[in-house]
Structure 1
């Protein structure tokens, strides 16, 4: 597995992360959050990487796929109060 990750270039890695975020956005849409985009998911997940930097791939995948709707909505609410634009 380690050699597979080393063989991925930045573009392939970016595409894989985009697919994961799309999958999570679709899941959130199925439970009623119809306007969620993959960019919204990425903004929510990546906010905790601002100080530490991007984590190892396995942690990144886990963070995206384990994102709960309540955590996502908390992020969106706080962002709206702050007037943040994604």
Structure 2
């Protein structure tokens, strides 16, 4: 059985698609202005200190993101004056 090799561009495209999918889920819940980039910014803030996680953790972090966690991220960013 051949193992499938992914290059960096393919992985990046898949991660972007996952973020867009999660943003679409949030839009269906009434959060109209969420984008895939917003989801990525929310998720990736943890990776600044930790470094890039294994792919399975990254996928889990994206798909398990809850609206409440995303809204907390936005609130904290607003308090800190971070321009999103």
Instruction: State if a TM-score over 0.5 links the two structures.
Output: yes
Aligned length: 82
Which digits, 9 at most, give the CA deviation of each residue in 1:21-70, with x for residues without a partner? Answer: 00000000111110000010001011111111110000000000000000
Larger helix fraction of residues: 1
Counterpart among 40, 43, 63 of residue 42 in structure 1: 40
TM-score with structure 1 setting the length: 0.91
Residue 11 of structure 1 corresponds to 9
Asked whether 1:28 is paired with 2:26, we answer: yes
Looking at structure 1, the residues matched to 9 and 81 of structure 2 have their Cα atoms a distance apart, in angstroms, of: 31
Moved over 6 A (4+): none
RMSD (Å), alpha carbons? 0.9
Looking at structure 2, the residues matched to 29 and 38 of structure 1 have their Cα atoms a distance apart, in angstroms, of: 11
TM-score with structure 2 setting the length: 0.93
Structure 2 stretches of 5 or more lacking a match? none
Structure 1 stretches of 5 or more lacking a match? none
